[in-house]
Structure 1
Amino acid sequence: MGQALQKVLPAVLLFGLGIHFAFTLAFLTPINPVKVSVLGAVNRYMQPFFYQRWTLFAPDVEAKTRHVFVACRGEDAAGVSREEPWVNVTSPLLDLKQRYRLTPADRLERAQVAGLSQLTASDDEITTRLLEKPEDTDAYRQAVAAAEGQRQQRKQQGRRLLGRVASAACTSLYPQLRTREVRVRMATIKAPAFSQRMNADAPGDTTWMELSWQPMEAVEAR
């Protein structure tokens, strides 16, 4: 039994990797008839945890950093209501990733990145082209309504995922607090001008986005 498993397991792993890379390739390729026909299945597989963009490369380099802050609200052991201040839960993970290239912090940060990507994702190429050419027809209005529904679904999924990230963080940060609600704040720091790249004190433009309070969710560590 053990030898048979050893023979079959590599083939199963290679098959799984092949399927994954096929979905990734379909997700990243420019719009084409084949991609349109399988886009629904591809999006369901890739989002939120495998979502990616080619903004690492020119000409539109995404030169910005995003940090997640969480706030916790609940009661202490004496039953007194408390609201804890904002805590940056991204910086410690980035520090660990810089110190140790192989670290579980990478997987933990992936949950934050996935939630942020869902919450702030741009429309796909099909939706963008659809909105560029408005038509006064029922079919067009139905297509726009469907696109808006997908957009809201992505945002809701992003809020839910970030809420779970915040719930796990509050449980870890304040074990004595009976957390009832959590809140997420996102800081987007745009890199300074290229001419200032060697200046450690050069400020980057920072924008903030806050979500409303969400109910605490029980998140199990696995």
Structure 2
Amino acid sequence: MREPRHPARWSPASVVALAVTALALSGALLVHLVFVFLSVAPANAVSVHHREGINAYVQPEFGQDWKLFAPNPLQRNEAVGVRVTTVDAAGRPRLSDWINLTDRDIETIRANLAPSHVDQNMLRRAWDSYVATHSVEGDLPKGTRGELTGTYLKRVVLQRLGDTWEGGRITSMQVAGRFTLIDPPAWSREAPPDTTEYRLLPWWTVAPQDFRKL
């Protein structure tokens, strides 16, 4: 006759380690939620005083494309494109045509019943973050966040292209944006927009380390 099995007992050290781990994870989650909340909440004394630190943590990985109390729908048609220079196996350079990345995302969304955040928002958010943190003249970054958003936009674009294009290795790239305000509804007395805005960014060198962990 077999003896009844006794449930495994946790050693005191294991219990302490488990409690410390749970406490550390809970603390990290609480800090994360506080930072994200402050980034989307209406301006207050805490968020204004610590704005730079909050943005450095939240942007661009945890950026929220909504306001706390109401949605913020787009009011313009946006298109982000890129062109690249490549070098083939014989060392011959080549300049590509413009590649409409937004159009490629839209085609992916239309063919997918449950499109991902990557296809719906990532490219647009990367562009918006870059524009908000770089000067128009010279495209100079505004502080640490500007440097981060520039790197982020570059990596988002390269993630879509890969390290080669039409048989050639990508050596540099140039990103551009085209924006047109959406026409007002038929019952509105507003005049339809008749202009389209463009922004052309400088050429960026592409190195092998730019594809790290993509």
In the other structure, the counterpart of 1:164 is: 155
Measure, in 2, the Cα distance between the counterparts of 1:101 and 1:93: 14
1:179-194 matches, within 5 Å, as 179-194=170-185
3-state SS in 1 of match to 2:50: helix
Cα 1:65/1:155, change in 2 over 3 Å: farther
Q: Which has the larger radius of gyration?
A: 2
8 Å CA contact 2:83–2:95 kept in 1: the answer is yes
TM-score (norm 2): 0.66
8 Å CA contact 1:118–1:157 kept in 2: the answer is no
| Deviation (angstroms), 1:62 | 3.7
Measure, in 2, the Cα distance between the counterparts of 1:19 and 1:121: 26
Cα 1:96/1:22, change in 2 over 3 Å: same
RMSD (Å), alpha carbons: 4.0
8 Å CA contact 2:85–2:173 kept in 1: the answer is yes
Cα 1:69/1:43, change in 2 over 3 Å: same
In the other structure, the counterpart of 1:113 is: 124
Deviations 1:56-87 (A, max 9, x none): 958x8541232211101022223221000100
Match of 2:93 among 67, 81, 86: 81
Q: Percent identity?
A: 19
TM-score (norm 1): 0.64
Measure, in 2, the Cα distance between the counterparts of 1:55 and 1:61: 13
Segments of 5+ residues of structure 1 without an aligned counterpart are 124-148
1:35-114 matches, within 5 Å, as 35-52=47-64, 53-54=66-67, 57=70, 62-103=74-115, 105-107=116-118, 110-114=121-125
Q: Which amino acid aligns with 1:121?
A: A
How many correspondences in the alignment? 188
Cα 1:32/1:170, change in 2 over 3 Å: closer
Segments of 5+ residues of structure 2 without an aligned counterpart are 1-7, 9-13, 135-139
| Deviation (angstroms), 1:43 | 1.5
Measure, in 1, the Cα distance between the counterparts of 2:112 and 2:49: 42
Does 1:208 find its partner at 2:198?
A: yes
Cα 1:162/1:122, change in 2 over 3 Å: closer
3-state SS in 2 of match to 1:102: coil
Measure, in 2, the Cα distance between the counterparts of 1:15 and 1:153: 26
Measure, in 2, the Cα distance between the counterparts of 1:17 and 1:180: 40
Q: Which amino acid aligns with 1:159?
A: G
Deviations 1:83-114 (A, max 9, x none): 001001122223323432434x5225544234
